Structure 1
Amino acid sequence: MSADLNARAAVFRALSHPARLTLLRLIWSEPLSGETLARLMNLAPATVSHHLAGLAEAGLTTVRQEGHHRLHGANRAALDVTLAALIRGEANMPAPEDPYRARVLRAFLKDGRLTRIPAQRKKRDVILHELANLFEPGRTYTEREVSDALAGLHPDFFTLRRELVGLGLLAREKGVYWRVKAGEAVPTLPSS
């Protein structure tokens, strides 16, 4: 089967459960956190997380970090495709979320907090790339600001800060930190 055919079939699988349709209805007009969705649907947070993962894997939702919460929204571009266009293969479906990444995030992030720092390097890198989204490219941060942002997610913010710098996601110079842009060869302090 072609990748495009698999992507189109994934949409049908994702929409085949009533809870997933309800989730899409709830996040249609504004992104909501998993905790809010669990409360609105009167479901366990783990159940909501499972259904959100199914929608994300089909590319039907968007996720953004806002403070300590991950906000889930409807991917309108993917959902505006007509059924006929989807069946005929005329629609360009968005690339689905990486299933491995989604599983790692579900396993280690609960209620907007990091439950533990993964020991396995590959999983740790997934988490660190997600945490790097807390910091805006082009903006500088004091060490205290970086520590405070990370401490809100996990008590061992020292390790997280060191790992983000070590992986090249954050750069540090004279107590000033900044997000390294993708493909940036030599991190330089952004101009303020």
Structure 2
Amino acid sequence: MSADLNARAAVFRALSHPARLTLLRLTWTEPLSGETLARLMNLAPATVSHHLAQLAEAGLTTVRSDGHHRLVMANHAALGVTLDTLIRGEAAPPAAEDPYRARVLRAFLRDGRLTRIPAQRKKRDVILHELAALFEPGRTYTEREVSDKLAEYHPDFFTLRCELVGLGLLARENGVYWRVVGSDAPSSPPGAVE
């Protein structure tokens, strides 16, 4: 069986549970946190997390960070594909969330906070890429602003800040930080005269 056919079948498996359909309905018009979804559905947070993982792995939801919450929203583009085009293979199945990344985020982020900084480099890099999304490209931040944002996730903001710079996700010059995106990122703070 081809990978494409398996990916298309995964969409149908993800849609086969009433709780997952309810999650898509609730997140259709606005992104919601897992905690909010658990409360609205009167389900345990772990149960909601399991169903959200199934939807994410099929590419039917998107996730974004907002402060110390991860907000889930139905992926309208993926859900807008007609059954006809999906079954006949005329449309690509939705891109699934990286299962390894999803597992790492579930293991280390609880209630919008980092439970611990992973010791394993590969897992730490997943967490650092997630935290880098807190910082907008093209904007500068003071060291205090960076520290405050990271402290919302974990008390050891110093290590996280150094790791983000060390991995090349943030750049620093004279106490000013900025998000590095792509290989053509500026070597000086945005807006600085070179």
TM-score (norm 1): 0.96
Aligned equivalents of 1:7, 1:73: Cα separation in 2: 20
Aligned twin of 2:22: 22
Aligned equivalents of 1:102, 1:95: Cα separation in 2: 14
Q: Which amino acid aligns with 1:144?
A: R
Aligned equivalents of 1:60, 1:28: Cα separation in 2: 11
SS at match of 2:23: helix
Aligned twin of 1:66: 66
SS at match of 2:40: helix
Aligned twin of 1:7: 7
Deviation at 1:94, TM superposition (A): 2.6
| Farther-moved stretch of structure 1 (144-153 vs 41-50) | 41-50
What RMSD over aligned residues (CA atoms) do the two structures have, in Å? 1.2
Aligned equivalents of 2:20, 2:187: Cα separation in 1: 42
Aligned equivalents of 1:47, 1:95: Cα separation in 2: 23
Aligned twin of 2:83: 83
Q: Which amino acid aligns with 2:12?
A: F
Deviation at 1:185, TM superposition (A): 6.3
Tell me, yes or no, if structure 1 residue 148 matches structure 2 residue 144.
no
Aligned equivalents of 2:66, 2:97: Cα separation in 1: 19
Aligned equivalents of 2:166, 2:61: Cα separation in 1: 31
| Farther-moved stretch of structure 1 (2-11 vs 58-67) | 2-11
CA offsets 1:121-142 (integer angstroms, 9 cap, x no match): 0000000000000000010000
> Identity across aligned pairs (percent)?
84
Q: How many residues align?
A: 192
SS at match of 1:96: coil
Deviation at 1:92, TM superposition (A): 2.0
Matches within 5 A, 1:88-127: 88-127=88-127
Deviation at 1:18, TM superposition (A): 1.3
Runs of 4+ in 1 over 6 A off after TM superposition: none
Q: Which amino acid aligns with 1:11?
A: V
Aligned twin of 1:40: 40
Deviation at 1:186, TM superposition (A): 6.4
SS at match of 2:63: strand
SS at match of 2:85: helix
Tell me, yes or no, if structure 1 residue 54 matches structure 2 residue 57.
no
CA offsets 1:138-180 (integer angstroms, 9 cap, x no match): 1000000000000001011010000000000000000000000
CA offsets 1:61-82 (integer angstroms, 9 cap, x no match): 0111111111100101111111
Aligned twin of 2:183: 183
Deviation at 1:184, TM superposition (A): 2.9
SS at match of 1:101: helix
Deviation at 1:3, TM superposition (A): 2.4
Gaps of 5+ in 1: none
**1:187–1:50 CA distance, 2 compared to 1 (3 A):** farther
Deviation at 1:188, TM superposition (A): 2.5
